[in-house]
Amino acid sequence: MAANTYDMIVIGAGPGGYVAAIRGAQLGLNVAIVEREHLGGICLNWGCIPTKALLRSAEVFQLMQRAGEFGLSAGKVGFDLAAVVKRSRGVAAQLSGGIGHLMKKNKVTVVMGEATLIAADRVKVAGAGKTRELSAKSIVIATGARARELPGLEADGDLVWTYKHALEPPRMPKRLLVIGSGAIGIEFASFFNTLGADTTVVEVMDRVLPVEDAEISKLAKKAFTKQGMKIREKSTVTRLERGAGVVTAHIEKGGKTETLEFDTVISAVGIVGNSEGLGLETIGVTVDRTHIVVDEHCRTNVPGVYAIGDIAGAPWLAHKASHEGVTVAEAIAGGQPHPVRPESIAGCTYCHPQVASVGYSEARARELGFDVKVGRFPFIGNGKAIALGEAEGLIKTVFDAKTGELLGAHMIGAEVTELIQGYVVGRTLETTEAELMNTVFPHPTLSEMMHESVLDAYGRVIHM
Ligand X SMILES: Cc1cc2nc3c(=O)[nH]c(=O)nc-3n(C[C@H](O)[C@H](O)[C@H](O)COP(=O)(O)OP(=O)(O)OC[C@H]3O[C@@H](n4cnc5c(N)ncnc54)[C@H](O)[C@@H]3O)c2cc1C
Q: What is the set of active-site residues?
A: 443
CA dihedral 451, 454, 458, 461 (to 10 degrees): 40
Size of the site for ligand X (CB under 6 A): 37
287: phi then psi, degrees, rounded to nearest 5:
-125, 140
Confirm or reject binding of residue 278 to ligand X (CB under 6 A). Answer: yes
- Is the dihedral angle over the CA atoms 324, 327, 330, 334 positive or is it negative? negative
The CA–CA distances, whole Å, from 128 to 9, 36, 112, 230 equal: 19, 10, 8, 48
Judged by CB under 6 A, which of 103, 292, 318, 455 binds ligand X? 318
Rounded distance between C-alpha atoms, residue 225 and residue 89, angstroms = 30
Rounded distance between C-alpha atoms, residue 407 and residue 212, angstroms = 14
The residue among 41 and 180 lying less far from ligand X, judged by its C-beta, is 41
The residue among 14 and 180 lying less far from ligand X, judged by its C-beta, is 14
Judged by CB under 6 A, which of 302, 321, 385, 446 binds ligand X? 321
Burial class (CB in 10 A: 0-12, 13-18, 19+), 284: exposed
**Minimum gap (Å) between residue 92 Cβ and ligand X:** 11
User: Which span (40-48, 130-138, 204-212, 230-238) binds ligand X, by CB under 6 A?
Assistant: 40-48
Confirm or reject binding of residue 309 to ligand X (CB under 6 A). Answer: yes
Confirm or reject binding of residue 13 to ligand X (CB under 6 A). Answer: yes
Give kind and range of the element (H or E) at residue 6: strand 3-11
For 252, the 3-state DSSP assignment is strand
Confirm or reject binding of residue 449 to ligand X (CB under 6 A). Answer: no
Confirm or reject binding of residue 43 to ligand X (CB under 6 A). Answer: yes
Rounded distance between C-alpha atoms, residue 395 and residue 453, angstroms = 6
The residue among 249 and 317 lying less far from ligand X, judged by its C-beta, is 317
**Minimum gap (Å) between residue 167 Cβ and ligand X:** 7
| Rg, C-alpha atoms of the chain | 23
**Minimum gap (Å) between residue 435 Cβ and ligand X:** 27
CB atoms within 10 A of CB 189: 28
**Minimum gap (Å) between residue 352 Cβ and ligand X:** 14
Rounded distance between C-alpha atoms, residue 92 and residue 40, angstroms = 9
Confirm or reject binding of residue 317 to ligand X (CB under 6 A). Answer: yes
Any idea how long the chain is?
464
Confirm or reject binding of residue 326 to ligand X (CB under 6 A). Answer: no
Confirm or reject binding of residue 419 to ligand X (CB under 6 A). Answer: no
Judged by CB under 6 A, which of 192, 224, 262, 316 binds ligand X? 316
Rounded distance between C-alpha atoms, residue 15 and residue 24, angstroms = 14
Rounded distance between C-alpha atoms, residue 425 and residue 26, angstroms = 25
User: Which span (23-31, 33-41, 93-101, 258-266) binds ligand X, by CB under 6 A?
Assistant: 33-41
Judged by CB under 6 A, which of 115, 240, 298, 385 binds ligand X? 115
**Minimum gap (Å) between residue 430 Cβ and ligand X:** 24
Rounded distance between C-alpha atoms, residue 76 and residue 286, angstroms = 58
Judged by CB under 6 A, which of 8, 48, 223, 457 binds ligand X? 48
**Binding footprint of ligand X on the chain (CB under 6 A):** 11-17, 34-38, 41-43, 46-48, 51, 114-115, 142-145, 163, 184, 274, 278, 309-311, 316-319, 321
